């Protein structure tokens, strides 16, 4: 795999007022969680933290095979099997459960990990009305920074008229409230990603809706990295960065770095936006491995690769944040096409598969899987 590093660009600045459009509704009842969400603003672990490496398995404990039952993957690293095409993943504070979205159905499910025995059935928390045509639908999830108190969940979705960010209550039911609307919709390029950089500042990565010229136009919300302060209905968006292709993922270390991935006609990219508002192209892949969701840590970023069917760990210098070595590839060709990524409380990286869309699904797809962090240095070796 050929990889190229380098490049700096100055981000553009501007504000775009966004109107409120109603139309996304909840179609099912809600469940209230007794467990609270892990705070997204606690210090992130190091990928190479010695305590993490000693507490995590270095390989999937396949010797403890699960019972041979329909829709129960024998690999204990698999959290849940037989989902529809996935879209969006967030872990919860108990260390063993998460919320996962289905891109095409709009369902949001609570799933729970177990290494032995039969995993519990997923629980449908709610369902959001989405338009799944092309690559649209439900493509990203993030918890409110005060989820344990307010039970709020944010999602990036495609409707019949646009792409948007909505807010969902997992405690009280009711409609999904539009937060940021009017993001252009196209035949493709509808994927988006959301995260919180600070408790009051959400970052939103939007795709180009199949129109690269719109990505370069500051009058359009397509193909941008946006910031939304105090996200609530009627919020305005500030443009942080333009020129995004097909959106992959956005992830913050909640301190200095915002990392974004996207796919362009010439390359797939990993970019970093620092506190000074400067965007740096940290790494690029001319061979288009299909960069997707990401997870940020204090010393790097993990990236799900859809086409290359692997999880990439890009280690960054803690002082300069530069990435100078080829990312380590984990679990390559083991689970198929990967998409969303989230950090578990024990240091494992949770990922989703999207083999039902353009992949080679087996009887267990699509799935949520836990992958241990790397135990060695950079390279393309096995996990």
pLDDT tens for 66-82 read 766 778 999 999 999 99
> In the chain, how many domains are there?
1
Q: Regarding beta strands 368-371 and 78-80, do their DSSP bridges make them parallel or antiparallel, or are they unpaired?
A: antiparallel
> Mean of the pLDDT values across residues 210-216?
96
Rounded CA-CA distance 141/145 in Å is 13
Say which DSSP state 335 is in. Answer: S
Long-range contacts formed by 91-97: CB under 8 A, 24+ apart: 91/38, 91/342, 91/343, 91/344, 91/345, 91/350, 92/33, 92/35, 92/36, 92/37, 92/38, 93/35, 93/36, 93/37, 93/38, 93/39, 93/148, 93/345, 94/35, 94/345, 95/344, 95/345, 95/346, 97/35
Question: pTM of this prediction?
Answer: 0.85
Say which DSSP state 52 is in. Answer: H
pLDDT at 15 over 80: no
Domain holding 234, by residue range, is: 8-371
Q: What is the CATH number of the domain that holds 268?
A: 2.120.10.30
Residue 316 lies in a domain: yes
- Distance from chain centroid for Cα 111: 16
Residue 367 lies in a domain: yes
Contacts of 279 by beta carbon, 8 Å cutoff, 6+ apart: 8, 9, 10, 11, 241, 271, 272, 273
Residue 228 lies in a domain: yes
pLDDT at 42: 53
Residue 23 lies in a domain: yes
Rounded CA-CA distance 42/196 in Å is 12
> Mean of the pLDDT values across residues 49-66?
41
Q: Which two tokens stand for residue 12?
A: 């553009």
The tens digit of pLDDT for each residue in 315-361 reads 999 888 999 999 999 999 999 999 999 999 888 999 999 999 988 99
pLDDT at 50 over 60: no
> Mean of the pLDDT values across residues 284-302?
94
Tell the burial category of 34 from Cβ atoms under 10 Å away from its Cβ (0-12, 13-18, 19+). Answer: exposed
**Cα–Cα nearest to 325, from 372, 283, 373:** 283
Which residue has 């999602």 as its token pair? 155
Q: Which two tokens stand for residue 370?
A: 């836990």
**Cα–Cα nearest to 357, from 380, 340, 372:** 340
Task: Name the pLDDT band for 271 (thresholds 50, 70, 90).
Answer: very high
Tell the burial category of 41 from Cβ atoms under 10 Å away from its Cβ (0-12, 13-18, 19+). Answer: middle
């Amino acid at each position: 795999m050929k990889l190229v590093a380098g490049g700096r660009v100055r981000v553009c600045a501007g504000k775009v007022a966004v109107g409120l459009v109603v139309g996304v509704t909840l179609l099912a009842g809600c469940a209230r969680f007794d467990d609270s969400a892990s705070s997204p603003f606690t210090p992130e672990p190091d990928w190479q933290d010695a305590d993490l490496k000693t507490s995590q398995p270095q390989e999937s404990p396949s010797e403890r095979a699960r019972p041979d039952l329909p829709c129960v993957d024998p690999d204990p690293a698999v959290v849940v099997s037989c989902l529809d095409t996935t879209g969006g993943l967030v872990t919860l504070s108990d260390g063993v459960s998460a919320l996962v979205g289905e891109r095409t159905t709009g369902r949001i499910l609570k799933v729970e990990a177990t290494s032995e025995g039969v995993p519990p059935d997923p629980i449908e928390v709610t369902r959001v009305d989405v338009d799944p045509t092309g690559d649209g639908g439900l493509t990203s999830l993030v918890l409110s920074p005060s989820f344990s108190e307010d039970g709020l969940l944010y999602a990036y979705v495609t409707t019949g008229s646009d792409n948007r960010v909505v807010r969902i209550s997992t405690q009280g039911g009711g409609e999904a409230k539009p937060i940021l609307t009017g993001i252009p919709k196209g035949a493709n390029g509808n994927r988006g990603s959301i995260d919180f950089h600070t408790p009051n500042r959400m970052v939103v990565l939007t795709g180009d809706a199949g129109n690269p010229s719109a990505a370069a136009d500051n009058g359009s919300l397509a193909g941008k990295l946006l910031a939304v302060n105090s996200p609530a209905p009627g919020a305005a968006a500030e443009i942080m960065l333009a020129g995004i292709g097909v959106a992959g993922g956005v992830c913050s270390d909640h301190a200095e770095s915002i990392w974004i991935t996207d796919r362009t006609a010439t390359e797939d990219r990993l970019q970093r936006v620092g506190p000074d508002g400067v965007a740096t192209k940290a790494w690029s892949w001319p061979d288009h491995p299909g960069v997707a969701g990401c997870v940020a840590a204090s010393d790097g970023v993990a990236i799900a690769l859809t086409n290359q069917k692997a999880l990439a760990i890009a280690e960054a210098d803690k002082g300069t944040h530069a990435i100078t070595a080829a990312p380590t590839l984990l679990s390559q060709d083991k689970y198929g096409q990967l998409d969303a990524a989230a950090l578990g409380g024990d240091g494992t990286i949770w990922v989703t598969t999207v083999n039902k869309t353009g992949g080679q699904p087996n009887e267990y797809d699509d799935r949520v899987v836990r992958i241990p962090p790397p135990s060695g240095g950079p390279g393309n070796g096995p996990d």
